Structure 1
């Protein structure tokens, strides 16, 4: 028992010291008291086991009461508050024949608490049970111009609905899905790549061919029946550690003048070796070295009619051209004969960075037609020789949408870099940052803008493609736009006017910043439809054991936090929702017939610390979203990372990820369930449903089934749109951090395709797979 005595003494001392520190910060007394109890138990264990057991039994009862008071009857908070102490009771129960004193008290207490804690797994206090209406509210909705059996743009059409009218797969038969084919691209993360090297591509389906890009900007054409390679084009992209991301979410398509869908030809030679040709239809491939390449869908040859033999240099007129600081990770928008390109500007690398300009080029020739620079919004005519765009102006790195009947394109807008330092921003940049912006397709002039956060100091870029649908409201059928945000709001606007359909209010926000020359906004917008989490409390802190729970509580009390929109600081600030946001680039999916929405809200806290530069060495900088970034030219660097315990688990208690169903006709959340398991988060592959983080997006089908992977366990799942229940799942060979798609092959079979290659910065399994499923015959 000497070893166990020392164990009690060691844990008790750690809890006592940390607990006193927590008390000094104004936190709970529980840990200090627990430390004292364990020290006494440890001292008594060697010779006076009876009194040690009686004291420990009383301690377990008191801990159970405290745990229930803090967290309620909820498995994960209870298990981590009680688990270690229930395990420590086991050596006290292993009595010798000569000393059984106290066992008759401790054993039943221990047994009741073990059973009671385990029984909490049967209770899910986080779910909302309900069913979305199956009523068809709009019989013939606008689904965009994609044919029913195809997928012609990132969100299937420029409306971004992620809705397919296919209905072969239903809740009744989805369990019969099986693997149809699997393809490996050969493009894998290498030693010269940045941490956030990710497979986020959603293929297009044109004719009977799938077209998808890879992280290093290969464009692969696959036979839609078999998954066999038809042709492949490899852009000559060199590794560059200055990039923040190494990814490609998709390619874009310009139909040919004939109106016929392309027929891809099997090419024996690499397509990049082919001579450029005159193209009718075109595919547009954005690259991570700031180019846009136009390719022939039939052969993969470059289009000689576009720009410089198929290659458009996107650094033209840029005020700064640091390599790796500017590129497009999302497919451009193709509408009204234009290819409209926005781009990603590295966050927090330098005060003087490339511009976030949005540019429209003639899709046939590559000629610049207009440019919208949010730093100079009135000058939309093409710039002349020697003129440059505004440095570092707010950009649009995600996917845009368009309504050609209204002559409007819709862009989710980001922030001006540096994200956490607001003293550099002009009034124009303040106006257009962190918003959704409607631009006239013909002129690039702004039609309207709706901002979602004022004076953004938290990197709360609008990350998701706006979703367009015609929505039944009290005013009749309105042209609507649905856009989810990182901060948890889901805004529903009239897409013609920008006016809110669901109310938007201004709510008081925390005030004060310790950065000279900067300020915070007194209020922030809030949508009536939102998934904002409650303000964190000390009791929400979590960990795998009481020791890392205590560490998280000390950090919570040490860092600045007065709720959402607490300003970044040199002391360090908790940002919740964090940098991944409640919603990200995966957006949401809508069923325009049933007028319902499927989303995947995520809850992870981050910390943000401004590091004053004093001329010393900052150490390794420009580490992206998980480390120190230099803000070259500014007075402060920023250190940003998830709020994790020393064991690497989130400091706030789970669930961290959900799926949710919303009735868009009422704005009501009808159901919400924890999503995903810890299968790939722990050494043992445990299929415990925890509600895990995820990044990616959903696809709704007319059959009433939703397909999504996204979670950090390597599965693709099918959900019942009506109830949110999981109907089917399949193990993926790698992380599925891409939005799936569905189509009909040449045999008339509905297929579901998922790109599975993992996500470098969230640690899912890396690979290079494309997998397809269909119903068993």
Structure 2
């Protein structure tokens, strides 16, 4: 009976592989699955006939599969496993007495002997040995070390921030995410312990939008932490104990039309001209109903002298203004008595989106000083009553950086909606879309622009705060530099005075083949310092088993794909790097002394498929435009279906690793190391600690002690790494997803604390929460 059931199973497997493998061959794919399916069917026939040669035939199938797998992917265990797992398990089953005895023979004395197992057992042992061997090597790991010596004796960090404090989103206006504290170092970081935990009370609600996320980096001024929550509560905590000092609720409501419900941070300001007076120290809170509110840092009360009784209404000047479609998710920048803010729009919902205007207001009064609209860039004087900003001009939803000495504010700009359709874009949009722009701090006039994607059809916004530092070149000249991470994986290292490259940028040929109404740029820029992935190949397709891997191979050939910048299509296109990008709003951390960077490149392919307007179904409740599902693009001739490139089991079709930690030398432009980051512990029904290298979204922070801290990955941990070599030194289990950027500071008793917010991320599916957690070394 066991032999018969096994034969039926082998027959079904063989048919599935032969049918799928035949389809793959017709798509010019690998013939392996067709051949393997025929091998299973032949083994099944021999089992039905109860012939012992079935075991030998299957032994040949195991060895042939092993040779093919190693030829395709080498000794990468995560790639070998899906190719051979099912085959080896079935080989072990065929070695059991229940199969071997019926295939054997009876002696003249009546004894029953099983069929010879030697060839099959040898094949199974060889395959298992190769699997075990591959577990101890990682062919995709890049080992190396960053230079440890300090290049700049007195590095420029931007602003006047005491060493033990953290005044802006990236600690200073330079956005380095670097702390000069060194009490916690590579030798003792493993001893970190939790010292306090605070819960905001702002938890995910049943009526929340899908992308409800907790991405805040707290600020630390004197002995107070300032932070916000996804539903825009502003909170002040005692930095030593974590006890709440005050809490303010702006009552921003629950509009289901919002695409995001998040807050990345608040902004702090001290009026040097009015010390000791009410509201001399302020916290500015952006809200998801398009307000900017000024609060007294001492008690959380509204500063009525600012704008309209303490509130700026950011929808002012917009031609179209449906509620819920425009707001600021990132903290504004403050410098030169100005507060400068952009805004996020609901991506890919309509061609009548709000303007992407950048505006500077008097930080004390809220009076508009200048406005820079990429759709009308020369009119920077405040609009006159009745005028409106350019509808649907490229916006900036991320964080700005400022160099007050140069008088420049650096803006990471996004793309014009619809992201995947480029016809009809204006000359200004083609110039400024998906670029880094330097604006004059006093007038708003643009001083230079560096475009990172030409005619962007892939949602490749510049997503990250540019990082500023002064680079000491090999000839000992010092150049004011800007480091700009991008979704497509390039790291632009520019002279921040002019926008000219310090590390070379070249134009490379790009794929064509856009829809007839559109076009593609013939070339695209690429920085010499790049984390762009190698183009996907069929052998890079992945799955838990050989079956879903085969399906992913078929799907790979069914989509259009010619590498990075393959244009959107009606057939469907693989977008790689995908819409989450290689880097996102978490940016990178830079050590201005050693002049090196630490980041978390992520690799997750997406797909996009254009849909003619007539074929778009009636509007559904959850279709507001996002990274996943149907993006309607109202007013455009096409909508687009978008989402991660997933297999039948809803895991990525591309093989891991999907996430790394990486270090690069900014003086040479060389990548020193890349290591898999994160486990599948929180991605699978069982808590498996397999270090696959998982996706993540969030940012790093580094310290003078040579330690880099990073949460971000989709397993719920905060980790510490050796900045020099990228090796993990410590980790702490978080009670929720850690998709925020950590920060560090010192308190009065001399201790250095590290603070991490754990609240999860709706789009990546991590556990929601409302935690603020502090760690320190034992007393």
When normalised by structure 1's length, the TM-score is 0.96
Shift of residue 91, structure 1, vs aligned partner: 2.1
CA contact (8 A) 1:508 1:522 kept: yes
Aligned to 1:192: 207
Q: Distance in 1 between matches of 2:614 and 2:42?
A: 49
Q: Is the 8 A contact 1:4 1:91 kept in 2?
A: no
Matches within 5 A, 1:111-126: 111-126=125-140
Instruction: Report if aligned partners of 2:274, 2:280 keep a CA contact under 8 Å in 1.
Output: no
> Map of 1:428-577 to 2, 5 A cutoff?
428-474=428-474, 476-514=477-515, 516-577=516-577
Q: Which runs of 5+ in 2 are unaligned?
A: 105-113
Runs of 4+ aligned residues of structure 1 deviating over 4 Å after TM superposition are none
Q: Whole-Å Cα distance in 2 between the matches of residues 619 and 71 of structure 1?
A: 44
For 1:390 and 1:251, the matched residues in 2 are separated by 27
* Structure 1 position 399 matched with structure 2 position 414: no
CA contact under 8 A between 2:474 and 2:667: conserved in structure 1? no
Shifted more, 478-487 versus 240-249: the winner is: 240-249
CA contact (8 A) 2:656 2:692 kept: yes
Q: Could you say which residue in structure 2 is the equivalent of 1:180?
A: 195
Aligned-pair CA distance for 1:47? 4.3
Instruction: Select 2:237's aligned residue among 216, 219, 222.
Output: 222
Q: Tell me the secondary structure at the aligned position of residue 16 of structure 1.
A: helix
Alpha-carbon distance, 1:17 to partner: 1.0
Q: 1:630: which partner in 2?
A: 632
Q: How does 1:73-152 map to 2 (within 5 A)?
A: 73-96=75-98, 97=101, 99=104, 100-144=114-158, 145-152=160-167
The 2-side partners of 1:435 and 1:627 are apart by: 26
Equivalence for 1:171 = 186
Residue 46 of structure 1: how far off its partner (Å): 3.8
SS state at 2:414 partner: coil
| Contact 2:95-2:121 within 8 A present in 1 as well | yes
- Structure 1 residue 377 and structure 2 residue 377: aligned? yes
Root-mean-square deviation (Å): 1.3
2 CA distance for matches of 1:459 and 1:751?
37
**Alpha-carbon spacing, 1:622–1:7, altered in 2? closer, same or farther (3 Å):** farther
| Matched-pair contact (CA < 8 Å) for 1:49–1:102 | no
Question: 1:742: Cα distance to partner?
Answer: 0.1
Q: How far, CA to CA, are the matches of 1:179 and 1:47 in structure 2?
A: 66
What is the total number of aligned residue pairs between the two structures?
A: 761
Q: Is 1:238 aligned to 2:256, yes or no?
A: no
Task: State how far apart, in whole Å, the 2-side matches of 1:225 and 1:7 are.
Answer: 64
Alignment partner, residue 693 of structure 1: 695
Mapped partners of 1:33, 1:112: distance in 2: 21
Specify whether residues 112 and 616 from structure 1 end up closer, same or farther in structure 2 by C-alpha distance, changes over 3 A only: closer
Q: Secondary structure at the match of 1:625?
A: coil
Q: How far does the alpha carbon of each residue in 1:566-622 deviate from its partner, in whole angstroms, 9 at most, with x for none?
A: 000111000000001111111001110011111111111000111111166245332
Q: Aligned residue for 1:162?
A: 177
Task: Provide the secondary structure at the position in 2 that maps to 1:582.
Answer: coil
Q: SS of the counterpart of 1:5?
A: helix
Partner of 1:272: none
SS of equivalent residue, structure 2 residue 246: strand
Q: Secondary structure at the match of 1:624?
A: coil
| Aligned equivalent of 1:743 | 745
Q: For the Cα contact (< 8 Å) 2:73–2:79, is it kept in 1? A: yes
Q: CA deviation at 1:119?
A: 1.8
Check conservation: 2:346, 2:625, Cα contact below 8 A: no
Aligned partner of 1:274 in structure 2 is none
C-alpha contact (below 8 Å) 1:600/1:657 kept by paired residues:
yes
d(CA) in 2 for partners of 1:140, 1:3: 75
Task: Specify every segment of 5 or more residues in structure 1 that has no aligned partner in the other structure, as ranges.
Answer: 263-276
CA drift of 1:147 comes to 1.1
- 1:266 aligns with none
Q: What is aligned with 1:753? A: 755
Instruction: Note if contact 1:95-1:103 (Cα within 8 Å) is conserved in structure 2.
Output: no
| Structure 2 CA distance for partners of 1:404 and 1:259, relative to 1, 3 Å | farther
Measure how far apart 1:675 and its partner are.
0.7
Aligned partners of 1:119, 1:474: CA distance in 2, in Å?
43
Residues of 1 paired with 2:739 and 2:273: CA distance? 36
Cα deviation, residue 241, structure 1: 2.2
